[in-house]
Amino acid sequence: MKPIYIIGFMGAGKSTVGSLLATLNHLQFIDTDIFLEARFRKSIRDMFVEVGEERFRQREHSVIEELSGMNDTVIATGGGLSCFHNNMELMNETGKTVYLEASDEALFDRLCLCKRTRPAICNLSEEEIREFVHATMLKRRPVYEQAQYRISAEQLMNRDDEVRLAQEIAESLNL
């Protein structure tokens, strides 16, 4: 089976739900952010600071090209990965793409709960986080919506919701 790519904004639940989807269906799971950190032995934040966004996006692109040849794998992508280079086209051509769709407000609420663990927003006020989510989603939403499957991740509050969402994705993909 070709890879399943889980895409969406930070806080949409890509890593959590992707991991559950893989476990429930006996598939391998890869988080591209963790893969990048292991490959370059630096945190995502440090890579952004040291090499800049353009070079970081090139690294993401080379990683997704490499992973696109894997079978029986669920791949949770970084929030911006699908929006740069031809990554969205590549993923649509080489596997199944699933967009975890959530409103700006739901994403804002989740990100405020975990802002300390998110380098892009850890130093922002709540109002700045709200503006960041809105402005970034305006740019990214049209790319995310090119996914082959759109699954609502609006009501993702607890483990039961995460399992339900993973099962919904599995049913949609006929796994």
Residues contributing to the annotated binding site for substrate:
33, 57, 79, 140
Q: What residues form the annotated binding site for Mg(2+)? A: 15
- Helix (H) / strand (E) containing 138: helix 126-144
- Written as one letter, the residue type at 175 is L
Which tokens hold the place of 79? 């929030």
Give me the residue label for tokens 């380098």: 119
Burial 67-91 (b: 16+ CB within 10 A, else e): bbeeeebbbbbbbbbbbbbebbebb
What distance in Å separates the CA atoms of residue 9 and residue 107, rounded to the nearest whole number? Answer: 8
Q: What residues form the annotated binding site? A: 11-16, 33, 57, 79, 118, 140
For residue 29, give the 3-state DSSP assignment: strand
Q: What residues form the annotated binding site for ATP? A: 11-16, 118
- Among candidate residues 10, 1, 22, 3, the one with its CA nearest the CA of residue 167: 22
The answer to whether the beta carbons of residues 167 and 116 sit under 8 Å apart is no
